Structure 1
Amino acid sequence: MVPLVLLASLVVTIDLRSIDAALSARVVRGIEAETAAVWRPYGVDIRWVGGRDRPAVVDVELTAFVERSALPPPASARLFALGAVRLHVDLQTHEPIWISYQAVAALLDGRPSDRRMMATRFQEFADIEMGRALGRVLAHEVGHVILGAPFHRPAGLMRARFSADELGAPDRRPFLLTNVDVARLRSRPNSEPRASNPEPRTPNPDRISARGPS
């Protein structure tokens, strides 16, 4: 699962928006930096739009909403639904990605006190962790779209469940693509239809989730 740089770059624009989630500038910067960092080793160039100039050439256009409320829960009460995106039969998305601020915050807050001490004492540290965690959830949902993959893998970025420690820690290794997904990304034609819709829509049940504190 060592990152392999693609021969050609794939340009993905994301219009990041917030619904009832008062995101600090630090959290927004963290989301943007982490999402881009997860995909950069694979030749995927994440560009952020929304009041900014759009690049001249774009392969995939996405809209992502961070909302305060929780997403529809998974079957298990001990799981948090962190994000969602709907893929259609053609494996494209014409609806926004959804990320739940509340679910990610609850997951991070549920860690043992020794592992959340810095976030409890220092708001700047808490914002850095939150931005990192939200960025990783967003990177996973972006993966469903650009890989054309409505399914999950047993390991790596595209697995179905993340732990609180994995989401909050600086270590990015748990969020690498598997070799199978790298090959899938390499085979993706850059001429696929654009994917964007700025209007909020109800997310589907295919979600990334995370196990709650034990």
Structure 2
Amino acid sequence: MGFGVSHGSYMNFFRRTLIAIEGVYGNLISWPVDQERVQAIKTGFEWPPSPTHTSTHRLPNVIGALDGKNVVIESPRVHAEHWRDRKGNFAMKLTAVCDDKYSAYPLSNNIIVPYPTTETNGNSPEAIAKRRFNKVHSSARMSIERAFGLLSSRWRFISKHVYVIDIKDICLVITAACILHNFCINIDDPGFPFEQRDLELNEEDENEDRTWDPVRTRRDELNRWFSSQ
């Protein structure tokens, strides 16, 4: 190691810095509880994202858009094959929720997912309504896709490779990156331009877990509300 610093000392300083970032600024990743803030987020998701967007139909009572991103990592020392993603890379899944302005929040269990394509095929009124719902859902989800794009453009390793072996250290690195990203947003630090490859669009789940019947019921209620508007 250069500058007369051993690898052990470097890793010690590295971990202490990451832990300090989370300890001091960890509250920058939090679920919104202030009612004024909650209402502002709901309004942001209900109205068109830009003046050029003509659609006025967006999901009601949404306070977060959720998605996941695979962060490529080194081969873990233990059970390495358990970390393979569908592209064959060793990867850790980063799951995040953001508001309508792309700030990150932790995962919640109140999630509405799109209808699988097996339920949207055909020209029946039900299939047409579900396709329309998915289109609106996709519009709302663009917030989290853009959030990941901005995160990746600020911290390029998010879209490339994390050269760290220890799984706990990798978690600390990703968490610190998200915290510092929110810190930069809060101080109006200019965002970095990002390219299409920074957006990771997930494939729809064709085999929904049937244990999520209450979630599907809520989704159907939202779809009926949307169809009545």
The structure with the greater share of residues assigned to helix is 2
TM more than 0.5: no
TM-score by length of 2: 0.32
The structure with the greater share of residues assigned to strand is 1
TM-score by length of 1: 0.33
